[in-house]
């Protein structure tokens, strides 16, 4: 009987068939990152609430609407991490990583939590992989981290990927632009959604991200930040573009690109996959040159990105794959079961995948079970010390010397 309990809304179980595809994504990612000298890091699943309020931004959707916040028994306010960058910056400062050779290049993978309305590709517990290069403002770092995500998606075989690129400038140069943008929004206030209208003063950039048709119409004629970049910001952006061109990484400049977190400065980017529908972004990120200072550290420019593992798997259209077995060792009689187990162990030691019956099935039942678990060949041990090797695809069976089982199975 099914239990009355279900996984909480917006969460899911990762069953063995799905766990394999996930493990591959993580394995390939770790390889791609290691080749470029990025080191693994892991931080706790929850942090002081204030870290996200200050880091991600008081007026962002994440902080206003989406955090899983709770009080612990000591009366502290804690929050299940909605993102990985603020925690890593906290760890960077806490462990004095500014004393290490800069930039410090890190990667991570793990679960994140946002109380969003669940839909395909959007969950309340999801998993991200991400990288951070902390301690450099060089455009070379921008090109390197963007290149890592591009390489990873290519190596995984994610189809139909496009890179959108923008720049938010530095906070000083953005100030003038934001005034222009606010003036445009105020001039068209009547056509904006209530949500956007209420946030003209505190977060006008978010209007570019609105789903509402009226707001989108207003934003079509809005001034864009990319057009208003000047001085070092414009130079930095030009250099990033030149480096991507030189690396053969195709991109499209998207002057309306904004991201849902306040800490971004200068370069921002988003990898989208057309096949994904409404939640089309597989990964994205940007520079956050002011975040570490905002968390109480010295001025430390940095850049990074995060990609959603579920989105990557959706984009890959990954079927739930069950891996086959190289061999199943069947016992024709109960007396042969201990031999079957020993032989399976020998095969495993030689690097083959092998299983035996653990449920007391008769020979017929064992063959049926071997077929169900996708065993390619079955070695049947007979009482008289002989054995038969059965090919499960062709159904052919022939006598073999059980002493030569390893060779027969190609170990």
> Contact between 377 and ligand AMP (CB under 6 A)?
no
- Residue number, 25 or 409, with CB nearest to ligand AMP: 25
Token reading at 40: 């693994």
Going residue by residue from 28 to 47, which x/- string records binding to ligand AMP, judged by CB under 6 A? --------------------
Nearer Cβ to ligand AMP (124/236): 124
CA 325 to each of CA 138, 146, 246, 322, 372: distance values in angstroms, whole numbers, following the listed order: 49, 38, 45, 10, 10
**Is 260 among the residues that bind ligand AMP (CB under 6 A)?**
yes
Contact window for ligand AMP (CB under 6 A) among 40-48, 223-231, 307-315, 351-359? 307-315
Q: Is 187 exposed, middle or buried (0-12, 13-18, 19+ CB in 10 A)?
A: exposed
Cβ atoms of 18 and 131 within 8 Å: the answer is no
Cα distances (angstroms) measured from residue 109 to each of 106, 117, 368: 11, 23, 39
Report the distance separating Cα 395 and Cα 397, nearest Å: 6
The angle at the Cα of 334, spanning 333 to 338, to the nearest 5 degrees, equals 115
CB of 304 closer than 8 Å to CB of 128:
no
Site string for ligand AMP, 219-258 (x = CB under 6 A): ----------------------------------------
Q: What is the largest CA-CA distance in the chain?
A: 93
Q: Does 311 bind ligand AMP (CB under 6 A)?
A: yes
With binding defined as CB under 6 A, does residue 308 bind ligand AMP? yes
Least gap, CB of 213 to ligand AMP (angstroms): 23
Q: Which of 38, 52, 108, 126 binds ligand AMP (CB under 6 A)?
A: 126
Among 135, 284, 290, 301, binds ligand AMP (CB under 6 A): 284
Tell me if residue 27 falls in helix, strand or coil. Answer: helix
CB of 114 to ligand AMP, least distance (A): 5
Among 132, 144, 310, 355, binds ligand AMP (CB under 6 A): 310
Applying CB under 6 A, does 128 fall inside the site for ligand AMP?
yes
Site for ligand AMP contains 283 (CB under 6 A): yes
Q: How far is the CB of 79 from ligand AMP (least distance, A)?
A: 15
Residue nearest to ligand AMP (CB): 308
Strands 354-356 and 281-287, bridge-based pairing: unpaired
Residue 116 binds to ligand AMP (criterion: CB under 6 A)? yes
Return the residue of 295, 306, 331, 356 that touches ligand AMP, per CB under 6 A: 306
Burial class from Cβ neighbours inside 10 Å (0-12, 13-18, 19+) for residue 25 reads buried
String of contacts with ligand AMP for each residue 73-112, x by CB under 6 A: ----------x-----------------------------
Considering the complex, what minimum distance in angstroms separates the CB of residue 52 from ligand AMP? 12
**Which conformational region is residue 103 in: left (phi greater than 0), alpha (psi within -120 to 50 degrees), or beta?**
beta
Q: Of 134, 132, 125, which is closest to residue 66 (Cα–Cα)? A: 125
- Distance between CA atoms of residues 332 and 382, nearest Å: 5
Q: Read off φ and ψ for residue 311, nearest 5 degrees.
A: -65, -40
Q: C-beta of 153: minimal distance to ligand AMP in Å? A: 11
Pairing mode of beta strands 281-287, 265-273:
antiparallel
Contact between 139 and ligand AMP per CB under 6 A: no
> Binding residue for ligand AMP (CB under 6 A) from 38, 92, 123, 177?
123
In this structure, how many other beta carbons lie within 10 angstroms of the beta carbon of residue 20? 14
Which residue is it, tokens 């921008």? 142
266 forms part of the interface with ligand AMP (CB under 6 A): no
> What's the closest the beta carbon of residue 320 comes to ligand AMP, in angstroms?
19
149 binds ligand AMP (CB under 6 A): no
- Interacting residue ranges for ligand AMP, rule: CB under 6 A: 83, 114, 116, 121-123, 126, 128, 259-260, 281-284, 306-308, 310-311
């Amino acid at each position: 009987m099914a239990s009355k309990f279900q996984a909480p809304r917006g969460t899911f179980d990762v069953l063995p068939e799905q766990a394999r595809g996930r493990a591959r994504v993580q394995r390939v990612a770790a390889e791609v990152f290691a080749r470029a000298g990025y080191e693994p890091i892991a931080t706790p699943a929850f942090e002081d609430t204030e870290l996200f309020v200050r880091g991600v931004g008081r007026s962002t959707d994440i902080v206003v609407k989406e955090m899983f916040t709770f009080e612990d028994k000591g009366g502290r306010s804690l929050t299940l991490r909605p993102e990985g960058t603020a925690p890593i910056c906290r760890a960077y400062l806490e462990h004095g990583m500014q004393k290490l050779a800069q930039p410090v290049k890190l990667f991570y993978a793990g679960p994140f939590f946002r109380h969003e309305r669940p839909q395909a590709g959007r969950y309340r517990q999801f998993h991200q992989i991400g990288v951070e290069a902390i301690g450099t403002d060089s455009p070379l770092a921008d090109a390197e981290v963007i290149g890592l995500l591009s390489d990873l998606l290519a190596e995984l075989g994610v189809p139909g990927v496009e890179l959108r690129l923008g720049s938010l400038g530095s906070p000083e140069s953005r100030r003038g632009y934001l005034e222009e943008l606010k003036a445009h929004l105020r001039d068209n206030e009547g056509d904006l959604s209530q949500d956007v209208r209420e946030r003209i003063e505190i977060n006008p950039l978010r209007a570019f991200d609105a789903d509402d048709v009226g707001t989108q119409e207003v934003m079509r004629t809005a001034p864009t930040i990319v057009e208003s970049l000047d001085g070092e910001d414009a130079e930095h952006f030009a250099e990033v573009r030149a480096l991507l061109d030189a690396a053969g990484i195709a991109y499209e400049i998207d002057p309306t690109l904004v991201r849902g977190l306040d800490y971004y400065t200068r370069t921002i980017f988003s990898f989208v996959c057309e096949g994904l529908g409404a939640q089309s972004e597989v990964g994205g990120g940007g520079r956050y040159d002011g975040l570490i200072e905002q968390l109480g550290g010295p001025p430390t420019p940095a850049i990074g990105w995060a990609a959603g593992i579920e989105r990557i798997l959706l984009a890959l259209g990954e079927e739930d794959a069950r891996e086959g077995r190289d061999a199943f060792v069947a016992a024709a009689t109960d007396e042969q079961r201990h031999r079957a187990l020993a032989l399976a162990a020998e095969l495993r030691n030689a690097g083959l995948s092998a299983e035996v019956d653990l449920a007391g099935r008769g020979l017929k039942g064992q063959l049926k079970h071997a077929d169900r678990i996708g065993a390619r060949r079955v070695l049947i041990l007979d009482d008289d010390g002989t054995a038969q090797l059965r090919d499960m695809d062709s159904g052919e069976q022939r006598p073999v010397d059980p002493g030569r089982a390893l060779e027969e199975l190609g170990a």
